[in-house]
Amino acid sequence: NAGVMQNPRHLVRRRGQEARLRCSPMKGHSHVYWYRQLPEEGLKFMVYLQKENIIDESGMPKERFSAEFPKEGPSILRIQQVVRGDSAAYFCASSLRDGYEQYFGPGTRLTVT
């Protein structure tokens, strides 16, 4: 089992462009979580998804950010019209079931120039 995969590992975008971050959960896991880590801070919860459903998006900024986890394929975190403040490390985690241990991916480091 390769573990949680995230790509790309590094992403550079100019202000105003779109960023798409992908997360493939561990085999057999149907629960996905996205976290953001700003410099010098801990990871902050963004969104929790199950296949085709957003369960909790209480940590998502109201505008420009969206997430999906389709029936087939990876989970996508999409950031439209990126700004410098979006520069951060974005981590994805997956779990087998509700409330079970979360396994983390290596993260995607987004830099907005």
Partner 1 sequence: AQRVTQPEKLLSVFKGAPVELKCNYSYSGSPELFWYVQYSRQRLQLLLRHISRESIKGFTADLNKGETSFHLKKPFAQEEDSAMYYCALSVLYGNKLVFGAGTILRVKS
Cβ distance to partner 1 smaller for residue 59 or 74: 59
Structure tokens, 74: 């990876």
Q: Which is nearer to partner 1, 49 or 82 (CB)?
A: 49
Q: Report d(CA 92, CA 103) in Å as an integer.
A: 8
- Rounded CA-CA distance 90/35 in Å is 6
Q: Which is nearer to partner 1, 25 or 82 (CB)?
A: 25
Please check whether residue 68 is in contact with residue 85, taking contact to mean a CB–CB distance below 8 angstroms: no
Q: How far is the CB of 108 from partner 1 (least distance, A)?
A: 12
CB 11 within 8 A of CB 112: no
95 with 102: CB under 8 angstroms?
Answer: yes
Site residues (CB under 8 A) for partner 1? 3-4, 31, 33, 35, 40-45, 48, 55-56, 58-59, 91, 95, 98-107
Task: Tell me the closest approach of the beta carbon of residue 113 to partner 1, in angstroms.
Answer: 25
Q: Which is nearer to partner 1, 35 or 110 (CB)?
A: 35
